[in-house]
Amino acid sequence: MGKYTLPEVPYAYDALEPHIDARTMEIHHTKHHQAYTNGLNDAWDKLPPSIQSKDLLDVLGNMNGVPEAVRGAINFHGGGYDNHRLFWNNMRANGGGQPGGAVADAIKKAFGDFNGFKEQFSAKTTAIQGSGWGWLVFNPKSKNVEYKSMPNQTSPRTEGLVPLLGLDVWEHAYYLKYQNKRADYVTAWWNVVNWDEVDKRYSKTI
């Protein structure tokens, strides 16, 4: 067994119905997230001990320090491992609505108002070509929150950004229920956003 084990989903697979169906959740977690976990363990074994002793988040934040031969695998599987555990936790049953706390003010400051943010996040995430993720991130340099699209499983952490809220738009995240209608999935997903968790993540950055 490797260092990394499959993180838990903190609710039942059917908890996000009807917005995200139970079968999609089960396959997404037990097959896809498990595959990133296995891939991360395989890649981690190939790292030098000086990097193996580090935390995954520190490694993702300093990809130049990772030997080139394993960098792609760490980027993909390490990103996939971290992105999905963030994703499960930034959703919940009976979620949605509007954020509260400090993150609500940060969103207002960056995007004008909540609806402006929501529209921009939805439009840009729906428009991602191929597989990727839409993110609300905190930028430690500007001290502001921003929208960021990332390709495949590349973590926002690789660009020095702190992920606050992520939306997986790989087809495996929605195809069983929504088929080609990614925009409908994005619209429905707002109903399961866990804003308390997003505010908690934001509070750790400031």
Smallest CA-to-CA distance from 202 within 156, 152, 162 is with 162
* Strands annotated E in the chain: 132-139, 144-151, 162-168
In the complex with Mn ion, the residue whose CB is nearer, 172 or 204, is 172
- 3-class DSSP assignment, residue 61: coil
Q: Cβ of residue 141: shortest distance to Mn ion, in angstroms?
A: 28
CB nearer to Mn ion: pick between 107 and 165: 165
Q: How far is the CB of 45 from Mn ion (least distance, A)?
A: 23
- SS3 assignment, position 90: coil
Residue 169 C-beta: closest distance to Mn ion, Å: 9
Where along the sequence are the contacts to Mn ion (CB under 5 A)? 168, 170, 173
CA neighbours closer than 13 Å in the CB half-sphere of residue 24: 21
Q: How far is the CB of 99 from Mn ion (least distance, A)?
A: 23
Residue sitting closest to Mn ion (CB): 168
Question: Would you say the C-alpha torsion 124, 137, 157, 193 has a positive or negative sign?
Answer: negative
Work out the angle at residue 79's Cα, subtended by the Cα atoms of residues 25 and 2, and round it to the nearest 5 degrees.
Answer: 85
Of 61 and 80, the one with the shorter C-beta distance to Mn ion is: 80
